[in-house]
């Protein structure tokens, strides 16, 4: 099975070489699955178009909304630094829509970020509880790799 994944990665990198985001989302998807997440949606968009969530997954009893940030290199810092207060607000709007439709309580929800740095050997890092539902600008904690 690993050989199939590696072949798929090589093909995606070849055909989508200019689309780092798509390659990063594929790597994040596989990383999350290998760490026990059950993926239930990719690229979830609200009907109004007011927000999008890259990956929606269950980890045990917790519904996790995952933002994937991909960079070619870490030369200008970690990719998650691009998830500013405005981006977090848009993610929260989409998450509210999703949990309303799925009838899930906010207490069972969290927001994670997956950093993907492409290169000869791509690096994937999960930041759990990167931010939460908040009224004001959310804090941005230090990464917690898993």
pLDDT along the chain (146 residues), means of 10: 59 56 92 97 90 96 97 87 92 95 94 93 95 60 46
List of domains in the chain: 20-131 (3.40.1350.10)
Query: pLDDT for 41-73, tens place per residue?
Result: 999 998 888 889 999 999 999 999 999 999 988
The pLDDT value given to residue 104 = 94
Q: Which residues contact 93 (CB under 8 A, 6 or more apart)?
A: 46, 50, 51
Place of tokens 């989508």: 16
The pLDDT value given to residue 18 = 59
The pLDDT value given to residue 20 = 74
Q: Which residues contact 97 (CB under 8 A, 6 or more apart)?
A: 46, 47, 50, 51
- How many CA atoms does the CB half-sphere of 104 hold within 13 Å? 20
Q: Using the 8-state DSSP alphabet, how is residue 81 labeled? A: G
How many whole angstroms separate alpha carbon 100 and alpha carbon 104?
7
How many whole angstroms separate alpha carbon 53 and alpha carbon 95?
7
């Amino acid at each position: 099975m690993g050989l199939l994944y590696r072949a798929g990665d090589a093909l995606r990198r070849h055909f989508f070489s200019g689309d780092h985001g798509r390659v990063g989302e594929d790597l994040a998807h596989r990383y999350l699955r290998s760490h026990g997440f059950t993926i239930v949606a990719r690229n979830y968009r609200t009907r109004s178009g007011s927000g999008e969530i890259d990956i929606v997954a269950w980890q045990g009893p917790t519904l996790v909304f995952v933002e994937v940030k991909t960079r070619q290199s870490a030369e200008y810092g970690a990719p998650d630094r691009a998830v500013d207060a405005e981006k977090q607000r848009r993610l929260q709007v989409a998450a509210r829509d999703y949990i309303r439709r799925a009838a899930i309580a906010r207490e069972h929800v969290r927001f994670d970020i997956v950093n993907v740095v492409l290169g000869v050997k791509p690096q994937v890092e999960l930041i759990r509880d990167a931010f939460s539902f908040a009224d004001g600008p959310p804090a941005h904690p230090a990464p917690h790799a898993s």
